[in-house]
Structure 1
Amino acid sequence: MWHFPNCIGAIDEKHINIECPINSGSTFFNYKGSHSVVLLALVDADYKFIAVDVGSYGRNSDGGIFSKSTIGKRLSSNTFNVPKPIPITENIYHILSRARRVVENAFGILAARWRCFRKNLEVQPEFVDKIVLSSCCLHNMLCGDNAFEPEDTSTQNTESALTNLDFLRRNCTRDAFNIREKFKEYFISEVGRVPWQLDRVRKGRNT
């Protein structure tokens, strides 16, 4: 739907702000300066939650949360029922930011439907987990409602998405880096690129 080959979903984290739990110290204290429980979510092209993991401490790193989550463990052990990849030969194209934004939009829709997520939840963490999981289930049931459908931004944010991505290399594995390189080559090839993308990149550099 979002013209990104072999992409089965977009994953991200949302900090669910809470009041500091009793005798918790800095366990839930996050980098934003508040206390939170983390919702890790994998979202499909229709803004539905494919899988969620909630309950990690706000102070934990993104990588640590992912590796300890059920989602991360099942992906690592190849027990997540991921379909086999197909060769990238179709005349389809797009950029990662366009496909990735569905998870950010899903979080936005979740908070718009249940305004309690716009402020601190005044319950203990075990109840926060139940509230978040229930909200995610209800969100999926209501996804037929287009009241919160985000607008199409097919040509927005292209400058940042199409510029040099070497900074993303950080601590990635060689396999991950090779996969990124293959997609990069595809999206700048005659088959995979769109007519306007080079103009957008050059415009961003000139400004």
Structure 2
Amino acid sequence: MFRAALELSAIAVLLVEDILKQQSLKKRKRRIRRNRTKWFHMLEELITPIIQRENTNYRDCISVGTRLMVTLRFLATGETFRSLSYQFRVGVSTIRQFVPETCTAIYEVLKEKYLKCPDTVEEWQQVADGFQAQWDFPNCLDALDGKHINIRPPPGTGSTYFNYKHTFSIVLMALVDSNYKFLYVDVGCNGRISDGGVFGGCSLQDALENRTFNIPAPAPFPASDQAVCYHIVADEAFPLKEYLMKPYPNRRLAVEQRIFNYRLSRARRVVENAFGILANRFRVFLTTINIQDTAKVEAIVLACCALHNFLRTENCSTYMVRVVDQEGPDHGTVPGSWRQDPDLRQATLPPTTNNPARAKHHRDELCQYFNGIGAVPFQWDKI
């Protein structure tokens, strides 16, 4: 009798715990739903003055909320316009027209606050402090890389947009800070050009060459008294410059050079993660965007980048759950879920040969620092 009572009591406890878990889950879902509603209405209010249409005597216009809902659905899933037409009971040609318009409006209202490149010494210093604190890479301003956006080639362009992956694309070139936010984006260059070529033709390179970005003056590394200039980290596809660091060529490397490559890769992977998160959450990038007007495709890409920064800044609790790479207790990389999809991985282009002597000297200084007073205990186990 006593044993049966204990079993009933244990069952009752388990039922109570299960009910509490379900209630907690329901509360969490309600909280997430409220937050999503809040962000949706925030966007709706911001873009209403730009895309609001007036009713006529013949019919009512499509509301801003419907336009935004259809556009976000398209960006998040990559569904065809015909599929969206069946879901929302809106004409295919109408959706094809207002989706790029809504994307342009989203970018216009968000770019000044959420997609703004630093333009003062203090703002750049905050970015560099983030890389030093999170990735142990001093005087690092950003991580730079490019991503191919698959498109339908415009008529009469031949192989202009045909890339080395054997698809047609335009290139998204981006600078990313230590918190996976885009600070600078350039989109629209045809996919036939390499990442280094895209960088050479964008406004970023001109600003860095002409020193119009208000980048901080050279400063010493932590625990060092030798002043070293600030720089961006990138992969082998880019030219080596004083302000642009890339790995040593992977041929007969010394231990010290392999340490440098590891430390640079550790800081540079934030841009790969940012692209992976972007494509994982805005899955239109996993498809071929079925629009032949590249200007409209550019508007879609810019809107996604602005929305990415918007959700990161507003602390959306579900946006980056289990997506981004993490570091385990031994500082080993725990891959994020975006790396499980081969379509999201970035291929590496052949290395370039532009290696000025001063840039090489700067890279050697960084290499010496990482193998000396700037070493971290776990780096020796990673090579």
Q: TM-score, normalised by structure 2?
A: 0.47
Q: Deviations over 1:41-78 (max 9, x none)?
A: 00000100010100101001222211110111111111
When residues 113 and 169 of structure 1 are mapped into structure 2, their CA distance, relative to the original with a 3 A threshold, is closer
Query: What does residue 107 of structure 1 align with?
Result: 275
Please tell me whether the aligned partners of residues 169 and 177 of structure 1 are also in contact (alpha carbons under 8 angstroms).
no
Give the 5 Å matches for 1:1-207.
Answer: 1-90=134-223, 95-123=263-291, 124-143=293-312, 144-145=315-316, 146-147=320-321, 148-152=323-327, 154-156=331-333, 170-189=353-372, 191-201=373-383
Identity, % of aligned positions: 45
Please tell me whether the aligned partners of residues 325 and 333 of structure 2 are also in contact (alpha carbons under 8 angstroms).
no
Residues of 2 paired with 1:95 and 1:180: CA distance?
A: 12
Moved more, 77-86 or 62-71: 77-86
Moved more, 192-201 or 24-33: 192-201
Count residues with an aligned counterpart. Answer: 190
When residues 97 and 119 of structure 1 are mapped into structure 2, their CA distance, relative to the original with a 3 A threshold, is same
Q: Deviations over 1:86-117 (max 9, x none)?
A: 201339x9811110000000000110111000
Residues of 1 paired with 2:304 and 2:155: CA distance?
A: 25
Residues of 2 paired with 1:192 and 1:36: CA distance?
A: 41
Q: TM-score, normalised by structure 1?
A: 0.84
When residues 114 and 70 of structure 1 are mapped into structure 2, their CA distance, relative to the original with a 3 A threshold, is same
Residue 168 of structure 1: how far off its partner (Å): 6.5
Q: Deviations over 1:106-161 (max 9, x none)?
A: 0001101110000111112111111111111111001123424432263349xxxx
Residues of 2 paired with 1:40 and 1:83: CA distance?
A: 23
Q: What's the secondary structure of 1:142's corresponding residue?
A: helix
Q: Aligned partner of 1:152: which letter?
A: E
Q: Max radius of gyration: which structure?
A: 2
Residues of 2 paired with 1:125 and 1:114: CA distance?
A: 18
Residues of 2 paired with 1:85 and 1:99: CA distance?
A: 20
Higher relative contact order, chain-length normalized (CA < 8 Å, sep 6+): 1
What stretches of structure 1 move > 4 A for 4+ residues in a row?
none
- Structure 2 residues not aligned, in runs of 5+: 1-133, 225-259, 335-349
Q: Aligned partner of 2:355: which letter?
A: C
Please tell me whether the aligned partners of residues 326 and 333 of structure 2 are also in contact (alpha carbons under 8 angstroms).
no
Please tell me whether the aligned partners of residues 10 and 103 of structure 1 are also in contact (alpha carbons under 8 angstroms).
yes
Residue 83 of structure 1: how far off its partner (Å): 2.1
Query: What does residue 163 of structure 1 align with?
Result: none
Q: Aligned partner of 2:327: which letter?
A: D
Q: Aligned partner of 1:118: which letter?
A: L
Q: Aligned partner of 1:142: which letter?
A: L
Please tell me whether the aligned partners of residues 4 and 95 of structure 1 are also in contact (alpha carbons under 8 angstroms).
yes
- Structure 1 residues not aligned, in runs of 5+: 158-166, 202-207
